[in-house]
Structure 1
Amino acid sequence: MPRMEHAFKVDLRGIIDLLSNHLYSDPSVFVRELLQNGVDAITARRARSGEFAPLIEARLLRGEGELPVLEFRDNGVGLTEGEVHEFLATIGRSSKRLDEARDTFLGQFGIGLLSCFMVSGEIELVTRSASGGPAVRWLAQADGTYTLEVLEESSPVEIGTTVRLRAREDTDFYFEYDELRGALENYGRILPYPVHVFGGEQYAHVNAAMPPWLAYAAGDTGKRDEVLAYAREELGVQALDAVPLRSEAGGLLGVALVLPHATQRSARQWHSVYLKRMLLGHDLSNLLPEWAFFVRCLLNVDGLHPTASRESFYEDDALKAAREALNAGLRGYIEELAAHDPKRLDALISLHHLPLKALATEDDDFFRLLAPQFSLETSTGRMKLGEYARRSPTLRMVTDLDQFRQIAQVASAYGHSVVNAVYTYDVPLLRAYARLFGHELEEVDAQTYALSLEDVATGGLEGVLARANAALEGLGCEVSVKRFEPAELPALLIVTSERRLLDDIEAAKDVSDDLFSEFLDDYAAEYEEVRVSRLHLNLGHGLVQDLLHVEDGAVFARLVQMMYVQAHLLGHHPLRAEELALLTGGLSDMMRWGLRATRLDTLN
């Protein structure tokens, strides 16, 4: 059987559906595509013919009872009849290949003009080439057909291209003056060629004033206040600072606005990113380093490569180099603050400590510079890491909040300051500090501190301990007598994390069905040997010394139970129903005993 060659058939309606539903995020991008074609045409004409007065303008026309029409004109290089056949009738073939390398132009994919079918049923294009020849009129339908008409040489069509679109009933919103002007300003705000929009008696030169951040980024330091005012008035951002960013990698120029409020890494980021001065998008998460979520950037790049939708960049070596340059620029800003403006650095760290800690943990040099300035919560109050390290050659940390609350009561009395390292990045920060600055790092818990408490000879106290344990029977707690600081603390309750887990399991069983309750029993059995907590009575406290001589069994038991409840409260341990019952009963008994003593005094 002879082999036969066939050509692909293209369903233009399917292509249009692909553009509108999958490639482009919003139908209004047709404005960007028209702008892009105009800019590229002007760039090509300048390359051929030298200087001339560039022009891009959009006009809205509306007849009585008719749908609006948009005429979009540029005086760029234009197209010949042959070029119209070659480039406009071949999907995917880019007319940007005329004379220059692809990197000279914004467009690279040859499908931009088709985006106009998302808002119009037909596209009319009238063009005259700067290289000479008659003007050409091209009329394309959404079904994939088109007609081509060569106009008379005497036709008044000037060099350049005019695209004419009539709105559909479901897309006339995009042909309203305010909407069109907003789209042109959004995409073309910093284009180097003038862009004008007309709508009846309304008119605007949408890029008449260049935003000050471009000049500031280029080295005009006197523009800083103007940039902050621009951020405040145009973007609604009361920025703390504006950081100029420049890099040959990617041809990058821009500013980073330091946000005035704390942010999280998971927060959605917006950055106005322009490609050759045409807005690419606001959600380019692959350009900024991950830790830089405390800034919002205004950037223009000339050397990066957009995806087909021109709403993000390809992950390639150029993008990687640009990202590294942004990383270095933002890091250099913080290094400059550390060297010359420590007060501003403190303000920045207090507001954006999480991203800065993230950066420090990833870079040893940056860590050495910044880590001493980070604030930590310790058992002796908040202090900077550098100050803490000077006071405590051994860095002590606790990674459980309940454990920290127990330790905090006694650690400072022994001259120890313990870091509450339950917050994000605190553990890697302390480990890195110990490694880089030669400190010993010790992870402690409440049981460790309990073992360091001074033992007391229990000879003669066996009976007291037996009575105390009997008073707490059924509560899963054993009593010991120690001597420790602070002396004003009568008792210290040590609850292990395993015991806390068992309490949670018991609470879960109360609301579980039989099947799940059996599963919880099996789980709890693994921690059977750590069921008890420890109540250490402080022999250095007067109340405990008096307790040893109480002979009334009821009074003795209540005193032990109230010390147990008090230790719960001082250690920030949650009170179970059993502890709440002890508290209620103990207070009632004490009030009753107080009233009884008052009556006896009266009788006497």
Structure 2
Amino acid sequence: MEHAFKVDLRGIIDLLSNHLYADPSVFLRELLQNSVDAITAREHLGAAFEPAITALLHRAEGQLPRLEFRDNGVGLTEAEVHEFLATIGRSSKRISEARDTFLGQFGIGLLSCFMVSGEIEVTTQSAAGGPPVRWLAQADGTYTVEILPPQEQLQPGTTVILHAREDTDFYFEYDELRGALLNYGQLLPYPVHVSDGQQYEHVNAVLPPWLAFAAGDISKREEVLAYVKRELDLEAFDVLPLGGEGSKVSGVALILPYSTQSGSRQWHQVYLKRMLLGNDARNLLPEWAFFVRCLINVEGLRPTASREAFYEDDALSAARESLDAQLRAYIEQLAQRDPARLEAFIALHHLPIKALAIENDDFYRLLIHEFTFETSTGRLKLGEYVQREHLIRIVTNLDQFRQIAQIAGAYGHSVINAVYTYDVPLLRKYTGIMGKELEIVDAQSYAMTLENVNTGGLNEFLARANQVLKALGCEVTIKRFAPAALPALLIVTEEQRQLGDIQAAREVADDLFAEFLDEYEQEYQLVRVSQLHLNLDHPLIQELLHVQAPEVFSRLVQMLYVQAHLLSHQPMRSQELGLLGAGLGDMMRWGIQVARQETLN
């Protein structure tokens, strides 16, 4: 035996208000949509009339406000009222062969009015003839249908009457009503009027300038930028038209004036057949284009039931691919015609642009030389760098770069600090596409290129210096290197850095956690972890070779170590801080002693 489903209308209304629609004000969008579709259907009949949609707000002393929403569209017959208004999910648009020209497709829009009103009253006159019909529905799921006396002067169309509830009268205030109608219906092709008997406005009398700009009127560019600043409080870096002949998408892309990150929340004002769907249609643009915000009207895409997003289908994929190509073309045009603006654009949005370059070889070839990198000889565009260097030297650790940068420039080497997002894959890709050799260097391997010194006569000096720094896990060597003004260079290995982090953590750890840190520390202490290279070409080192006083010698070696430690930007442990304080104290005392001696003499 077959049984029919029973529908709990209260449950459906709760579903609409709490799960399907994000904002109760969408009831106005649904009313607009029904009116636009009704007018479109009447136009298909070939009738000559002046389309109009009107919202009338009525207020009486001591009573809640009432809204009349009128259109002069095709209307409904009695049979159509029963079939389409009283059957959830049945849309009158299904009877038309021209369904693609309609906004609504789901047959649930009118129910959204129950989110703000306890009943819905619909009076309608069909363009096909017959008497007018009144349909009155209650939120409990009951409705009545009344055939009204024929009226010769009654024109085709539909009027929806809603009575505000005490908890929803906010949506029936004139300014709120006008603002919502402007928000949803600003682009509609039919005039939308709103009045409360004292105030009146034709809300879509003036179309926004971006429509004309998207259609090819480039003279509207400054108007669009001014409009965006005034209406959206956004001073866009640039604006470009989107669309083209045969495209399902028409609008503008606004280049943001500030940097953004991948995955950041995007807003796009998206219209379907010139009706606003919402400001959060995330699946329309390519993922990499998070530096743009769009004002877009689409045709031929399928909205979800809430009409706040689109179905993932072939049409949406094609539209997304079209937008992807147009945004890429914009960047390519900047590269060819306006290098200065391209540089400013990359400075703002380097992350998404670099991500796109890694993904697309043609785009990579176009822009890779425009990307700027931090090097040991200053910030350089890669194009400048590869002209100066026979190979690309990169460092992938910031601490290592800081150590190398002190001497690389003096030897005429430029080393790239490739520690930032996308730097390494961009530079590795350069080898494959452009054929330039790439070398990853670190402080230890770089120190091996320093000029060795015959230490035959310096063994005693090195033994004394190593004894001073033994407790710090540092080995002393003698080298010659540039710049000559640098007395010492500290090379800290990754093991030393890890050990330093462990020791710093142990100083603030409780007893339980300190036991675990002790075990890790013992592993790293088995390795000779750092080297202090003294520069034999520096006058101070030449004088240090002849210092015999143990106390003075020890303090000078310690201070050279601390100075090199600071220059390499290594974090200061309690040991280094203690040496720094003690060394400065000794230096001041020695200075005072010299001053006293000079006074006595």
CA displacement 1:253-291 (0-9 Å, x = unmatched): 011111222222233211111000000111111111122
Q: 1:163 aligns with which of 149, 160, 164?
A: 160
The one-letter amino acid paired with 2:130 is G
Q: Which residue of 2 aligns with 1:337?
A: 334
For residue 579 of structure 1, report the CA deviation from its aligned partner: 1.0
The one-letter amino acid paired with 1:309 is S
CA displacement 1:201-233 (0-9 Å, x = unmatched): 011111001111111111111111111111112
CA distance in 1, matches of 2:91, 2:231: 36
- The answer to whether the 8 A contact 1:127-1:157 is kept is no
Q: Residues 59-138 of structure 1: matches in 2 within 5 Å?
A: 59-138=56-135
Unaligned runs of at least 5 residues, structure 2: none
Q: Which residue of 1 aligns with 2:498?
A: 501
Is 1:581–2:578 an aligned residue pair? yes
Q: Which residue of 2 aligns with 1:193?
A: 190
Point out the more displaced range, 80-89 or 462-471. Answer: 462-471
Q: Which residue of 1 aligns with 2:219?
A: 222
CA distance in 1, matches of 2:396, 2:45: 69
Unaligned runs of at least 5 residues, structure 1: none
For residue 250 of structure 1, report the CA deviation from its aligned partner: 5.9
The one-letter amino acid paired with 1:60 is L
For residue 249 of structure 1, report the CA deviation from its aligned partner: 7.0
For residue 586 of structure 1, report the CA deviation from its aligned partner: 1.1
Ranges of 4+ aligned residues in structure 1 off by more than 4 Å = 247-250
For residue 102 of structure 1, report the CA deviation from its aligned partner: 2.8
Q: Which residue of 1 aligns with 2:235?
A: 238
Point out the more displaced range, 589-598 or 203-212. Answer: 589-598
- The answer to whether the 8 A contact 1:275-1:300 is kept is yes
For residue 514 of structure 1, report the CA deviation from its aligned partner: 3.2
TM-score normalised by L of structure 2: 0.98
For residue 542 of structure 1, report the CA deviation from its aligned partner: 1.2
CA displacement 1:146-202 (0-9 Å, x = unmatched): 000011112653211110000000000000000011100100011111000011301
Is 1:593–2:596 an aligned residue pair? no
The one-letter amino acid paired with 2:501 is D
Is 1:475–2:453 an aligned residue pair? no
Q: 1:271 aligns with which of 268, 273, 287?
A: 268
Is 1:288–2:282 an aligned residue pair? no
Q: 2:569 aligns with which of 572, 575, 581?
A: 572
CA displacement 1:32-75 (0-9 Å, x = unmatched): 00000011111111111244211001011012211000110111
CA displacement 1:460-510 (0-9 Å, x = unmatched): 222111111222232121111111111111000111222112211122223
Q: Which residue of 1 aligns with 2:541?
A: 544
Secondary structure of residue in 1 paired with 2:63: coil
Q: Which residue of 2 aligns with 1:511?
A: 508
CA distance in 2, matches of 1:211, 1:531: 71
Q: Which residue of 2 aligns with 1:561?
A: 558
CA displacement 1:232-256 (0-9 Å, x = unmatched): 1222111222101115676110111
Secondary structure of residue in 1 paired with 2:471: coil
The one-letter amino acid paired with 2:594 is A
Q: Which residue of 1 aligns with 2:385?
A: 388
For residue 521 of structure 1, report the CA deviation from its aligned partner: 3.0
Secondary structure of residue in 1 paired with 2:170: helix
- The answer to whether the 8 A contact 1:69-1:167 is kept is yes
Q: 1:310 aligns with which of 299, 307, 310?
A: 307
- The answer to whether the 8 A contact 1:379-1:419 is kept is yes
Q: Which residue of 1 aligns with 2:349?
A: 352
- The answer to whether the 8 A contact 2:28-2:181 is kept is yes
The one-letter amino acid paired with 1:419 is I
CA distance in 2, matches of 1:516, 1:392: 49
CA distance in 2, matches of 1:185, 1:416: 62
For residue 357 of structure 1, report the CA deviation from its aligned partner: 1.3
Number of equivalent positions: 601
- The answer to whether the 8 A contact 1:250-1:304 is kept is no
The one-letter amino acid paired with 2:17 is S
- The answer to whether the 8 A contact 1:502-1:531 is kept is no
- 1:530/1:36 CA distance change after superposition, 3 Å: farther
Q: Which residue of 2 aligns with 1:177?
A: 174
Q: Which residue of 1 aligns with 2:33?
A: 36
Q: Which residue of 2 aligns with 1:6?
A: 3
CA distance in 2, matches of 1:255, 1:545: 69
Point out the more displaced range, 444-453 or 21-30. Answer: 444-453
- The answer to whether the 8 A contact 2:35-2:73 is kept is yes
Point out the more displaced range, 459-468 or 130-139. Answer: 459-468
Secondary structure of residue in 2 paired with 1:482: strand
Cα RMSD of the aligned pairs, angstroms, is 1.4
CA distance in 2, matches of 1:110, 1:331: 40
The one-letter amino acid paired with 2:557 is V
CA distance in 1, matches of 2:139, 2:34: 20
The one-letter amino acid paired with 1:359 is L
The one-letter amino acid paired with 1:413 is A
CA distance in 2, matches of 1:113, 1:405: 67
Point out the more displaced range, 258-267 or 441-450. Answer: 258-267
- The answer to whether the 8 A contact 1:379-1:411 is kept is yes
For residue 539 of structure 1, report the CA deviation from its aligned partner: 1.0
Secondary structure of residue in 2 paired with 1:86: helix
Point out the more displaced range, 17-26 or 507-516. Answer: 507-516
Point out the more displaced range, 116-125 or 543-552. Answer: 543-552
CA displacement 1:365-385 (0-9 Å, x = unmatched): 011111111111111001111
